Structure 1
């Protein structure tokens, strides 16, 4: 049976958030993978790599797996009702609702994280509680049909986890071997706990612009929710 995957492809997406799970999904037997956006056409990623949306919202079939990647472009999506409505509608009929990195914040803004265990990039995990989620560290966190992955490279672990859940571990391992996914990083600074104080401080500074913008958006969203309540 064909499994339909849909990854949200939006301006400012972190390309590895999208392309890492895409590579794994597309390697699965009987997979149909869509890059979905409001309309078809080129998408410029956060690092200026040009991607191509293949399926417009209006023509997108019901997806078995809906995946929202992260990136600096996530900020705009948090207040984009067209995007949030699309994600809600697809999530209602999807087998798995998923995210990579800060894509979890879009699921939160769509109201899909309430009472759920979820993770995201370490520099954004504290925002999850604002959406009623239970912030949970981990490369991949599952709560029922909700799968969320940590930052960027966690999308590889996530993709393999999804294949194992949809098919079986054997097929996931075959894909892992075919991609020679056997990470041996040259440095041990991939998490705040491992990184030196100097590296952590510099990285927080590097990410501070996007975070400040996100904090302002979250303040607006919380104010709206308080008025609505």
Structure 2
């Protein structure tokens, strides 16, 4: 099985590194990194990744993983070819997935009807006609979305379970020693902290 990870400038690194670590732990999974060109792509915090393929050369794949970005509104205005490639490749996939605000790109491409996303992007997802869930992972047919950033690990583990079974998923989870403690979400933190976080994310979109 082949998994293609979408790269674009200002993406959030953990959005694709987390799912990559999970999926690459399954021996039968091969991975590719696809972008607009073969030039290195730099994440929002400076991690540079070299693509293996371009949107022009990779025409089909089994799994697509779309990371998010803290600059998602800027990306929605000009995706650099990501949205167009997603529309073209989606009919060939067994699973099309997103992490964090990557679900807004799936929505922009018209590929999803129900999804989750980072809490700061819920309104933007809803504005694109998507039923927004606050669940950590959402299956919508063959489209699977994970909530913010670290939820990409959960999404990938659920995907491994769906594709290869619970035993394999448990082995991968224990192998990477993923046992987040304590559980905490945007909806469960004190209002003053939530308001401060919202203000910080809003400032990025200005």
TM range (shorter): over 0.9
Alignment of 1:206 with 2:200, yes or no, is yes
Separation in 1, partners of 2:63, 2:90:
8
* Paired residues for 1:75-154 under 5 Å: 75-78=73-76, 79-80=78-79, 82-113=81-112, 116-154=113-151
**Offset at 1:73?**
4.5
TM-score with structure 1 length normalisation? 0.84
Summarize the Cα distance change of 1:76–1:35 in structure 2 as closer, same or farther, 3 Å threshold: farther
Where does residue 168 of structure 1 map in the other structure?
A: 165
Q: Give, in angstroms, the shift of residue 81 of structure 1.
A: 6.5
- Counterpart of 1:66 in 2: which secondary structure? strand
Query: How many residues end up aligned between the 2 structures?
Result: 205
* Cα distance in 1 between the residues matched to 2:39 and 2:52: 7
TM-score, normalised via structure 2 length: 0.93
Q: 1:193 to 1:75 in 2, by over 3 A?
A: closer
Bigger mean CA offset, 20-29 vs 78-87: 78-87
Question: 1:98-137 CA deviation, whole Å, 9 max, x = no partner?
Answer: 1000000001111112xx2111001111222222111111
Deviations 1:13-64 (A, max 9, x none): 1000010001011111211111110111211111112222221112215111
Post-superposition offset of 1:72: 2.8
Match of 2:37 in 1: 39
Matching residue of 2:66: 68
**Contact conserved, 1:11 with 1:73, CA < 8 A, in 2?**
no
Q: Does the 8 A contact of 1:149 with 1:158 survive in 2?
A: yes
Change (3 A) 1:74 1:40: farther
Residue 77 of structure 1 contacts residue 83 of structure 1 at CA under 8 Å; is this kept in 2?
no
Task: Indicate the structure whose relative CO is greater, using CA pairs within 8 Å and at least 6 residues apart.
Answer: 2
Q: For residues 42 and 81 of structure 1, do their structure 2 counterparts lie closer, same or farther at Cα, with a shift above 3 Å needed? A: closer
- Cα distance in 1 for partners of 2:71, 2:29 equals 27
CA distance in 1, matches of 2:98, 2:130: 14
- Mapped to 2, the partners of 1:81 and 1:110 lie a distance apart of 13
Shift of 1:82: 2.5
**Greater Rg, structure 1 or structure 2?**
1
Task: Give secondary structure in 2 for the equivalent of 1:10.
Answer: coil
SS in 2 for 1:147: strand
